[in-house]
């Protein structure tokens, strides 16, 4: 009889020849428990998803309550479904006044797709600008705006009319013109290895978009819901997007995305043609109930308050000649080493010691530190001790 691992390799589509192949029986809080019951500290939150930790009891009970009421009833946008309405009400109450219309999707990628369509439809323009080293998803629209040729070349032709600027480069803002429908930007770049832009750049970007009538789309898939020390990362920069894109932690562990704009902008999807964006499962009632419960856990427990202090503790502890840089904001950090080979050896050591981490799509020589926000100082100390030990074993 084949083992579960053998079956995984045989029947589940593989996207690399070297999957992590970790196997867990259950997960709770910051720990994922392997088949022998050994706890593993989750330093990556399933890539920016588990901000409140795994299996939060309030989220679980909310999901169960919704399951008892209904699951799928109808395609998006026709019926008045309580979880969608309540979640949109809560989200918009926490956002700048103009961001009042929420379109729920199944994923962050689909939210990007919807946002790009909306920008084209609203502005009547075709040209889209994105950043080098960006990641916005893997479908053909999102892939078209990915700032890494290596992942794209085999899939051409992709969307025409897309060009790229350097993230955080003031000069490149001149490429934004009256022809540009939108600029799509991660507020803090994730897969580029966590790149934080400076405030003056974000202000200049906002101004340039406003001057040219270009919609500013901020992709907060990785940065939202307290990850960087604010509920949304754009709050650090004193600017507001025209369209905000959410996913990952939005669903509290369930699949959910959203793009959010003013009612005026979003209204463009209603006519010429009607039904400008459609989805069967987008805004699934169980996912919306879960997302709202998760957001309430974040707010009611002031989980964001301690994020900056946790960032400072990690930066204070992770000092070693082999560590070239620690970048990032809040609990969204990249620890950079000399090479991928060294980084990979360190990561393998950490995983063997029960501290789960990985590297970045466009920055393979940096290690990701993005644990659930509920991680305690004691757990941070333990994780950093394991990392430093792994560094010493690997250099
Ligand atoms: N945008 C960003 C910034 C992301 O990091 C990701 C996923 N890593 C996506 C979009 C796509 O999200 P998903 O894979 O959940 O559709």
CA of 221 to the centre of ligand 1 (A): 6
Quote the pLDDT of residue 253.
98
Per-residue model confidence as pLDDT tens digits over 130-148: 999 999 999 999 999 999 9
Tokens of 71: 């699951």
Please say whether the beta carbons of 77 and 242 come within 8 A: no
When pLDDT is cut at 50, 70 and 90, the band that residue 350 belongs to is very high
CA–CA distance, 281 with 287 (Å, rounded to integer): 10
Give yes or no: residues 291 and 326 share one domain: no
Q: Give the residue-averaged pLDDT of 8-24.
A: 96
Q: Give the residue-averaged pLDDT of 253-279.
A: 97
Neighbours of 177 (CB within 10 A): 14
CA–CA distance, 265 with 135 (Å, rounded to integer): 24
What is the CATH classification number for the domain harbouring 358? 3.90.1150.10
Q: Whole domain around residue 100: which residue ranges?
A: 57-300
Give yes or no: residues 132 and 278 share one domain: yes
How high is the mean pLDDT of the chain?
Answer: 98
Per-residue model confidence as pLDDT tens digits over 86-103: 999 999 999 999 999 999
What is the CATH classification number for the domain harbouring 245? 3.40.640.10
Which of 269, 300, 331 corresponds to the end of one domain?
300
Tokens of 284: 């699934």
CA–CA distance, 310 with 330 (Å, rounded to integer): 7
How many structural domains comprise the chain?
2
Which of 251, 268, 300 corresponds to the end of one domain?
300
Protein residues whose CB sits closer than 6 Å to any atom of ligand 1? 47, 107-109, 112, 135-137, 186, 190-191, 219, 221-222, 247-248
Give yes or no: residues 271 and 309 share one domain: no
Give yes or no: residues 335 and 212 share one domain: no
Q: Which atom of ligand 1 is nearest to the CA of 111?
A: 16
Quote the pLDDT of residue 65.
98
Quote the pLDDT of residue 266.
98
Quote the pLDDT of residue 179.
98
Is the pTM value of this prediction over 0.95? yes
Closest CA to 350 of 308, 318, 302, 307: 318
CA 1 to chain centre: 39
CA 114 to chain centre: 16
Protein residue closest via CA to atom 7 of ligand 1: 137
Per-residue model confidence as pLDDT tens digits over 32-63: 999 999 999 999 999 999 999 999 999 999 99
DSSP state for residue 250 in the 8-state scheme: G
CA of 265 to the centre of ligand 1 (A): 23
Give yes or no: residues 152 and 36 share one domain: no
Q: Give the residue-averaged pLDDT of 277-305.
A: 98
Quote the pLDDT of residue 81.
98
CA of 193 to the centre of ligand 1 (A): 14
CA of 175 to the centre of ligand 1 (A): 25
Protein residue closest via CA to atom 12 of ligand 1: 108
Q: Encode burial over 252-289: b for 16+ CB neighbours within 10 A, e otherwise.
A: bbbbbbbbbbbeebbebbeeeeeebbebebbbbbbbbb
CA–CA distance, 373 with 222 (Å, rounded to integer): 13
Query: Over pLDDT 70: what percentage of the chain?
Result: 100
Give yes or no: residues 265 and 383 share one domain: no
Give yes or no: residues 33 and 176 share one domain: no
Pocket test for ligand 1, best of 15, 151, 248, 368 (most atoms within 8 A of CB): 248
């Amino acid at each position: 009889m084949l083992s579960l691992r053998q079956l995984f390799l045989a029947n589940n589509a593989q996207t690399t020849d070297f999957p992590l192949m970790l196997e867990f029986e259950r997960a709770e809080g910051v720990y994922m428990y392997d088949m022998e019951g050994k706890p593993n500290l989750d330093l990556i939150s399933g890539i920016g998803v588990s901000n409140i930790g795994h299996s939060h009891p309030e989220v679980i009970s909310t999901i169960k309550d919704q399951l008892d009421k209904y699951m799928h009833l109808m395609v998006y946008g026709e019926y008045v479904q309580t979880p969608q309405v309540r979640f949109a009400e809560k989200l918009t109450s926490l956002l700048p006044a103009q961001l009042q219309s929420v379109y729920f999707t199944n994923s962050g990628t689909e939210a990007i797709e919807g946002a790009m369509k909306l920008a084209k439809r609203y502005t009547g323009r075709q040209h889209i600008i994105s950043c080098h080293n960006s990641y916005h998803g893997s479908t053909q629209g999102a892939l078209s705006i990915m700032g890494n040729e290596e992942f794209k070349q085999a899939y051409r032709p992709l969307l025409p009319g897309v060009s790229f600027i350097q993230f955080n480069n003031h000069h490149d803002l001149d490429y934004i013109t009256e022809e540009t429908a939108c600029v799509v930007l991660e507020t803090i770049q994730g897969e580029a290895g966590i790149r934080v832009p400076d405030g003056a750049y974000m202000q200049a970007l906002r101004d340039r978009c406003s001057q040219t009538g270009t919609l500013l789309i901020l992709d907060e898939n990785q940065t939202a819901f307290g990850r960087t020390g604010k509920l949304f990362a754009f709050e650090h920069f004193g600017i507001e997007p025209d369209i905000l894109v959410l996913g990952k932690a939005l669903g509290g562990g369930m699949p959910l995305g959203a793009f959010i704009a003013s009612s005026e902008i979003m209204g463009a999807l209603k006519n010429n043609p009607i039904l400008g964006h459609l989805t069967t499962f987008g805004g699934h009632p169980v996912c919306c109930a879960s997302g709202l419960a998760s957001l309430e856990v974040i707010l009611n427990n002031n989980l964001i308050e301690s994020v900056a202090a946790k960032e400072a503790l990690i930066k204070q502890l992770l000092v070693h000649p082999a560590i070239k840089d620690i970048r990032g904001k809040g609990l969204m950090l990249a620890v950079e080493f000399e090479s991928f080979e060294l980084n990979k050896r360190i990561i393998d050591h950490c995983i063997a010691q029960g501290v789960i981490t990985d590297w970045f799509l466009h920055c393979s020589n940096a290690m990701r530190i993005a644990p659930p926000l509920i991680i305690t100082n004691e757990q941070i100390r333990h994780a950093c001790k394991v990392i430093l030990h792994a560094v010493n074993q690997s250099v």
